[in-house]
Amino acid sequence: MKKPIYLDNAATSHPKPEAVYRAVDDVLRKGASAGRGGHQQALSAARLVFETRELLAELFNAADSERFVFTANATTAINQALFGLLAAGDRVVTTSLEHNAVTRPLRALQDRGIEVVKVVADPVSGIVSADALKEACLAARTRLLLVNHCSNVYGAMQPVEGLGGWCHQHDILFMVDGSQSAGSFPIDFQTLAVDLFAAPGHKGLLGPQGTGFLYVAESLELTPLIYGGTGANSHSDLPPEELPERLECGTLNLPGLAGLKAAIEFIIDVGVMQIRQREIDLLKPLLRGLQQMAGVILYGPADPLLRGAAVSFTLRDYDPAEIGFILDQEENISVRVGLQCAPDAHRTIGTYPQGTIRVSPGYFTSETDIERFLQAIRRIAQRGDHDDSTTGVR
């Protein structure tokens, strides 16, 4: 069996920094629940959660760590933001690059009387124009502009800089889905002027699955998505008024947050700029290798500086699922094929419904991994024994 190569970091990063595994194990053995009780173990748990929030505020240069609400994933964070903010008659402008974590809640909200406008990205670069977003926002009274920071399908980084300030000048709220950017790109909430920012803890932030957060800017109040115990204010049948507890019901994922804390410490220690540079260093040979291969169509920006680490391509008339199957079964290489939960993004670049092969290196990927992947694709391209039907199954 060949050594396994994991190239699906856009789904979840793997491996994690060693300290993450140790932190999860350590907390699981200690017990107690944050905010539940005043005994020493519960206090330690509450301190750990607090310190994790403080680290997030440091990483993203947010003024107040209490505005970070922990969630199970980015999807829950996005749902909390959208269902907690929007009401019938509101208008939302978004892009054609969104993940179903955005598209589906917005679709459900349309049924409740919210208008949704999707601005289509350039089909070649996969980048949506800031001017087109502004124009769409000004076409009618708009409550929220929601932009995917970096495409989970083909890595295109969107021009979010400057949009926050512009939105505020026009009394529009600005939200960014940072699922593919948090931890991988330098992000400064004060410069970005975001009102809402959602991210998972287990992708670029290198923490465990089951973690995520929603950042809610000061002065913005959301209706809770979930109601229940918060460990405080127990005499009342109403949720507390204060963040983060107002939006954090039920027992928190303490082992996950312990892992996330260790992961953020790792990121701060290494430096986001260094992590980003590592990503670019891996993208260069990957993009070059694919571009030079006959029969490969590469999607999204060709320049590594304009993109994140999710790289999508198709190979001649191969069914992407077939490529993924061969890579897995014969090469022990993990990639993601198909629509990657973002059908609108595929419609934008013309790869709907068959989808693409998405390869996404991470901080711990090596140059050798990239070369072995490219060799595997070359071998597959030279075989010529595949099923030509894009819907066929070998």
Residue 65 binds to other proteins (criterion: CB under 8 A): yes
Residue 47 binds to other proteins (criterion: CB under 8 A): yes
| The two three-digit tokens of residue 132, written as one number | 């087109």
Report, in Å, the least distance between residue 41 CB and other proteins.
Answer: 12
Report, in Å, the least distance between residue 239 CB and other proteins.
Answer: 10
Q: Among 115, 122, 245, 328, which residue sits at the site for other proteins (rule: CB under 8 A)? A: 245
Residue 240 binds to other proteins (criterion: CB under 8 A): yes
| The two three-digit tokens of residue 81, written as one number | 């933001």
Q: Among 19, 32, 43, 220, which residue sits at the site for other proteins (rule: CB under 8 A)? A: 43
Residue 241 binds to other proteins (criterion: CB under 8 A): yes
Q: How many CA atoms lie within 13 A of 359 on its CB side?
A: 29
Residue 49 binds to other proteins (criterion: CB under 8 A): yes
Residue 331, phi then psi, degrees to nearest 5: -115, -10
Q: Residue 262 in 3-state DSSP? A: helix
Contact map string, positions 75 to 94, toward other proteins, x by CB under 8 A: --------------------
Shorter beta-carbon distance to other proteins: residue 244 or 343: 244
* Residue from 158, 177, 156, 178 nearest 349 by CA: 156
Tell me the C-alpha distance between 70 and 252, whole Å.
8
Shorter beta-carbon distance to other proteins: residue 247 or 311: 247
Question: 344: exposed, middle or buried (C-beta count within 10 Å: 0-12, 13-18, 19+)?
Answer: buried
* Residue from 295, 292, 294, 284 nearest 318 by CA: 295
Residue 53 binds to other proteins (criterion: CB under 8 A): yes
Residue 228 binds to other proteins (criterion: CB under 8 A): no
Q: How many residues form the binding site for other proteins (CB under 8 A)?
A: 25
Tell me the C-alpha distance between 391 and 394, whole Å.
10
Chain residues in the site for other proteins (CB under 8 A): 34-35, 37-38, 43, 46-47, 49-50, 53-54, 64-66, 231-235, 240-245
